[in-house]
Amino acid sequence: MADPWQNAMDYAVAVARKAGAVIRHALQNDMMIMCKSSSVDLVTKTDQKVEELILSSIKEKFPTHSFIGEESVSAGQPCVLTESPTWIIDPVDGTTNFVHGFPFVAVCIGFAVSKELVFGVVYSCMEDKMYTGRTGKGAFCNGEPLHVSKQTDIRQCLVISEFGSNREPQVVSKIFSTMKKILCIPVHGVRSIGSAAINMCLVASGSAEAYYEMGIHCWDIAAASVIVKEAGGVLMDAEGGPLDLMSRQVVAANNRTIAERIAKEIEAFPAKRDDAPQGDTPRN
């Protein structure tokens, strides 16, 4: 059956490539670094410029569509997923990596219709890896099909997680407590790459069996979710239920057995949903 959104996906790939070139160029030049919710929640002029580039390019071609972009939400735009065709954008996933020249930075463009993800594009621009996933049509990296690992024994798994940017001691304690429980299963190892989207693409590629994080946002995971699913992986929340993009938590794994085992160890911490009404509390 013809895919009505193929054109949109091809366009997203071209826009992501252009955005990646802007990021690579910015690395060689002066960066203007600013802070958002705290001194470790960084944003640069490049994050804003790249989001503007992506938004204006897509709006020009699809003027009636809706948009959720990290930097627009930070500037006060709503973060609500409606039935309308919606682009979910993280212009620079791995801003801290970008600031330090740590070479894992991704442009993420996800697209949903009637609240269902249709495709996802993750361009790891320092590695020049273009990951794509289209619901029902598979996942690819630079055109090569992706498949998750076949491992079902948790003790032979490589697990990825992150520390995020919330440094409240009780939140950090829960992160370490979960990580300790997972390490002591024991798994082969725990890794931290600094980009939620690249982490998920590593699961989709079979290079790691699982990735989990509490405190992420919908733009961190929307595009990469399609890629994980289409590579044969599973996505769930920390209770083992279906993934809710707005819930600020994700478990992505090669199969249900591994995802459920990881979810069992997670010590959740309360985080304001992405689609909660905006108030005085920062989202971080």
Q: Which is nearer to ligand IPD, 164 or 233 (CB)?
A: 164
Q: Does 70 bind Ca ion (CB under 5 A)?
A: yes
90 near Ca ion (CB under 5 A): yes
Residue 216 interacts, among Ca ion, ligand IPD, none and using kind-specific CB cut-offs from 5 to 8 Å, with ligand IPD
Give residues 122-181 in contact with ligand IPD (rule: CB under 6 A): 162, 164
Q: At what angle do helices 45-61 and 6-27 cross, to 10 degrees?
A: 160
209 binds Ca ion (CB under 5 A): no
Cβ 65 vs Cβ 91: under 8 Å: no
Cβ-Cβ contacts under 8 Å for 159 (sequence gap 6 or more): 182, 187, 189, 190, 191, 208, 209, 210, 211, 212, 262
Identify the residue among 20, 69, 94, 233 touching ligand IPD (CB under 6 A).
94
Using the rule CB under 6 A, is 209 a contact of ligand IPD?
no
> CA-based angle 138:110:23, to the nearest 5?
110
- Report the DSSP beta bridge partners of residue 61: none
CB of 190 to ligand IPD, least distance (A): 14
The CB-of-257 to ligand IPD minimum distance in angstroms stands at 25
For residue 40, give the nearest of 91, 99, 90, 92 by alpha carbon: 99
Question: Closest residue to ligand IPD, Cβ-based?
Answer: 162
Considering beta carbons, is residue 100 or 150 the nearer one to ligand IPD? 100
Give backbone dihedrals phi and psi of 261, rounded to 5 degrees, phi first.
Answer: -65, -40
- Alpha helix (H) ranges present in 163-272? 169-183, 196-205, 218-230, 256-265
Taking residue 143's Cβ as centre, other Cβ atoms within 10 Å add up to: 7
Q: Give the footprint of ligand IPD on residues 226-265 (CB under 6 A).
A: none
CB of 88 to Ca ion, least distance (A): 11
All residues at 6 or more sequence positions from 279 whose CB lies less than 8 Å from its CB, including other chains: none
Closer to ligand IPD at the Cβ: 151 or 158?
A: 158
d(CA 271, CA 247): 8
Residue 120 interacts with which of ligand IPD, Ca ion, none, CB < 5 to 8 Å by class: none
**Contact status: 220 vs Ca ion (CB under 5 A):** yes
Q: How far is the CB of 117 from ligand IPD (least distance, A)?
A: 18
Q: Which residues bind ligand IPD (CB under 6 A)?
A: 70, 90, 92-95, 162, 164, 194-196, 213, 215-216, 220
What are the residues binding Ca ion (CB under 5 A)? 70, 90, 92-93, 220
